[in-house]
């Protein structure tokens, strides 16, 4: 039996890209006699809007999906802290006070997630009485784990290369958002028994870091399924920050959710929407 999931963040309304991702995960579980989970990733500080979680459930039901809901991230904070403490005590995390502007100015390379952190705070004394992020020392971590690999159902076996993302943040400077996506999602998938991590192709590179964290924290290693993304007329992925039309607006306007889901499954997309590679 496989276990897969859809894990939206309530910092904006869901759009067609989310619908497509949820349907892919739901259908993979259904086709293989497995379980499809819903997990609300609600630790995005002030941007999280608790009322949106109920909207998400209404949207999924409107699309004809069935799921089992697991604990939201806001109920998992002690576990994130314990994992971070373990890595910190093992000398694998270091504090960083650099701003985004400082990182952008000092970065020598651009990685999958933007400017790659150049290690400015690594090895120097940092006053942790002030707000500081905690970064993973990727080189030291790899020295301890040795070579790693992971498997994507669509792309095959991958040799883990977390260094391409640099020393990523695992504990954020913002006290309202204690764990980064990398740490929280990795721990959550292990806690929920996820065996197939289904998510968009835009998160493919992040998996290199997640595989490293699994090795460091002795977590089970799932298989991944990174599906193509829905793109707008300019070839950009649909995104909340671009005000892509919401599922809730479509639902309230009387559109048939079952028909929409069938169209997405069949590759029939609204005008101006296409499926990427």
**203-216 residue pLDDT tens:** 999 999 999 999 99
pLDDT recorded at residue 45: 79
In terms of phi and psi (left: phi > 0; alpha: psi -120 to 50; beta: otherwise), the region of 274 is beta
The pLDDT, as a whole number, for residue 243 is: 65
- pTM for this entry: 0.94
* Per-residue model confidence (pLDDT) at position 126: 87
Q: Is residue 240 annotated as a catalytic residue, yes or no? A: yes
CB contact set of 236 (below 8 Å; sequence gap of 6+): 242
Q: What is the spatial distance between Cα 258 and Cα 222, in angstroms, rounded to a whole number?
A: 31
88: Cα within 13 Å, side-chain hemisphere: 14
CB of 160 within 8 A of CB of 213? no
Strand pairing report for 156-159 and 169-171: unpaired
What is the pLDDT, as a whole number, of residue 242? 67
Catalytic: which of 122, 173, 237, 240? 240
Q: Which residues of the chain have pLDDT under 50?
A: none
Distance CA 110, CA 53 (A): 34
């Amino acid at each position: 039996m496989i276990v897969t999931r859809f894990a939206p963040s309530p910092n904006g309304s869901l759009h067609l890209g989310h619908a497509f991702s949820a349907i892919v995960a739901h259908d993979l579980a259904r086709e293989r006699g497995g379980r499809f989970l819903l997990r609300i990733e609600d630790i995005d500080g002030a941007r999280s809007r608790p009322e949106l979680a109920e909207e998400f459930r209404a949207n999924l039901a409107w699309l004809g999906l069935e799921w089992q809901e697991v604990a939201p991230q806001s109920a998992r904070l002690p576990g994130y802290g314990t994992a971070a403490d373990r890595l910190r005590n093992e000398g694998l995390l270091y504090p960083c006070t650099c701003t985004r502007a400082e990182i952008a100015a000092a970065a020598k390379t651009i990685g999958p997630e933007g400017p790659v952190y150049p290690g400015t705070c690594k090895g120097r004394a940092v006053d942790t009485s002030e707000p500081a992020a905690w970064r993973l020392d990727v080189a030291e971590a790899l020295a301890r784990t040795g070579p790693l690999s992971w498997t994507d159902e669509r792309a095959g076996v991958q040799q883990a290369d977390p260094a391409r993302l640099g020393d990523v943040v695992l504990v954020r400077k913002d006290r309202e958002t204690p764990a980064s996506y990398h740490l929280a999602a990795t721990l959550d998938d292990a806690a929920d028994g996820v065996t197939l991590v289904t998510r968009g192709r835009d998160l493919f590179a992040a998996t290199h870091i997640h595989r490293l964290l699994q090795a460091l924290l002795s977590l089970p290693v799932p298989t991944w399924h990174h599906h193509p993304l829905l793109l707008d007329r300019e070839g950009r992925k649909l995104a909340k920050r671009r005000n892509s039309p919401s599922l809730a607006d479509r639902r309230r306007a009387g559109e048939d959710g079952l028909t929409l889901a069938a169209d997405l499954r069949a590759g029939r997309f609204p005008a101006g929407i296409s499926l990427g590679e």
